[in-house]
Amino acid sequence: MKALDEQERHNLAMNLVGESLKELGYEFIAVNSTLKKHPQFVCEKDRKRLFVVVQAFTYPDHPELPLAVMDKMYAHAQTFHAETFFAGVGLQNTQDPTLPLYLNEPYTVVYTGLIPYETGR
């Protein structure tokens, strides 16, 4: 069995957030799946533009709002009259949360949606 590496977990989180954005009716302007390159999504709906930063995390970790990254994205988004959001996606091995995620094996997702970000929080 092959354990998913950090980039593969990030890609999985990106797919989950991307599907959520698509279901909400957003059109993708730009997508960047490279790990630690932000924002991951720039999308638009009804002339409302979003910059979305995605972070995957695994048990026992929790999403950490990367304040320096978010402040930078917020400032950048302002030049485009866009809003900034954080999407933390929890992933864990369904059979044993202490084990890594494996390719083609079941996993559990914890994703509560987009979290709006404004500088100074």
pTM for the full model?
A: 0.91
End-to-end CA distance of the chain: 42
**Region 58-82 average pLDDT:** 88
Output the pLDDT for position 120. Answer: 55
Q: If DSSP codes are grouped into helix, strand and coil, which group holds residue 91?
A: strand
What is the pLDDT, as a whole number, of residue 80?
A: 94
* 96: confidence class by pLDDT, cuts 50, 70, 90: very high
- What average pLDDT is seen over the chain? 92
Stretch among 26-40, 60-74, 94-108 having the lowest mean pLDDT: 60-74
Q: Which long-range contacts (CB under 8 A, 24 or more apart) does 37-42 make?
A: 38/69, 38/72, 38/73, 39/73, 39/76, 39/77, 39/84, 40/14, 41/17, 42/82
Separation between Cα atoms, residue 7 and residue 26, nearest integer Å: 24
What are the backbone angles phi and psi of residue 20, rounded to the nearest 5°? -60, -45
pLDDT digits over 23-63, tens only? 999 999 999 999 888 999 999 999 999 999 999 998 888 77
Query: Which domains are assigned to the chain?
Result: 6-117 (3.40.1350.10)
